[in-house]
C-alpha cells in the first residue's frame, strides 16, 4: 500500500478541518495536533495557514475549470446536464469552506479574489452554453433577457447553496447533500422547458433528493 506523503496528509487534514469547523477557527497548531506531528514538521511543508489555503484553492480551481469547459457546439441532453450539476455540487461540497464564509475568506486572502471571480464567470458561460444548447435543440423556449437572468440565478444558487445548506444543518456541518442543490437548480430551469422535457426533468430531479 502506497504511503501518503506528509504534505498531502496536511492538505487533506486541513481541508477536513476547514470544512467541519470553518477556516477561521483552524490554526496550524490544530492541524499539527490533529495529525499528531510537530508544528515544525508542518512548517517544513507550509510556512503559514495561508499557504495551505492557497494550495487547496489551486486544487479547487483546477477541478472547477476542468468541469466548466463545456463545448459550445455540443448537443447536451437533460441527463448530461443533471450529471454536470451533480459534479459541480460535489466539487463545491468538497471545498465548501470557501463558500460557507466566502466574503471573509476572500477578504483575508485577497490574492484569490480575481481567480474566484474568473471561476464565477466561467460558471455563467457554462450555464449559458447548456441553455443555448437546449434552446437550439428545441428543449427550451426562453427570451434573451430571461436567459441572462436565469444564468445569473443559476450562478448565484451554485455559489451560495452550500452556505444556505450549512445554515440548515448547523448542528452537523458534515450533513452536506449535493443532491439538494442539483434539485433546486433543475427546478430553476423547469419553467422554460417544453412540456415533454419538463416532465422528464422533473422526474429526474427527484432522483437527487
Q: Which domains does the chain have, with CATH numbers?
A: 49-206 (1.10.357.10)
| pLDDT(187) > 60 | yes
Q: Kindly report, residue by residue over 87-135, the tens digit of the pLDDT.
A: 999 999 999 999 888 888 889 998 999 999 999 999 999 999 999 999 9
CA–CA distance, 62 with 15 (Å, rounded to integer): 16
Q: From 125, 5, 15, select the one nearest 65 (Cα to Cα).
A: 125
**What's the pLDDT tens digit per position in 5-36?**
999 999 999 999 999 888 999 999 999 999 99
What is the model's pLDDT at position 70? 94
pLDDT at 170 exceeding the cut of 80: no
Amino acid at each position: 500500500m502506497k504511503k501518503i506523503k506528509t504534505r498531502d496528509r496536511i492538505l487533506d487534514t486541513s481541508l477536513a478541518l476547514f470544512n467541519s469547523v470553518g477556516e477561521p477557527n483552524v490554526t496550524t497548531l490544530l492541524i499539527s495536533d490533529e495529525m499528531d506531528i510537530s508544528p515544525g514538521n508542518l512548517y517544513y511543508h507550509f510556512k503559514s495557514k495561508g499557504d495551505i489555503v492557497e494550495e487547496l484553492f489551486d486544487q479547487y480551481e483546477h477541478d472547477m475549470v476542468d468541469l466548466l469547459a463545456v463545448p459550445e457546439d455540443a448537443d447536451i441532453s437533460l441527463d448530461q446536464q443533471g450529471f454536470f450539476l451533480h459534479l459541480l455540487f460535489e466539487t463545491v461540497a468538497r471545498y465548501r469552506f470557501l463558500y460557507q464564509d466566502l466574503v471573509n475568506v476572500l477578504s483575508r486572502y485577497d490574492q484569490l479574489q480575481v481567480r474566484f471571480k474568473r471561476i464565477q464567470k466561467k460558471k455563467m458561460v457554462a450555464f449559458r452554453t447548456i441553455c443555448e444548447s437546449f434552446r437550439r435543440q428545441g428543449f427550451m423556449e426562453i427570451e434573451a433577457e430571461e436567459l441572462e437572468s436565469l444564468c445569473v440565478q443559476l450562478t448565484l444558487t451554485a455559489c451560495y447553496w452550500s452556505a444556505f445548506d450549512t445554515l440548515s444543518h448547523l448542528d452537523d456541518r458534515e450533513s452536506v447533500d449535493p443532491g439538494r442543490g442539483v434539485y433546486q437548480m433543475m427546478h430553476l430551469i423547469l419553467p422554460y422547458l417544453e412540456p415533454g422535457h419538463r416532465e422528464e426533468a422533473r422526474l429526474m430531479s427527484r432522483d437527487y433528493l
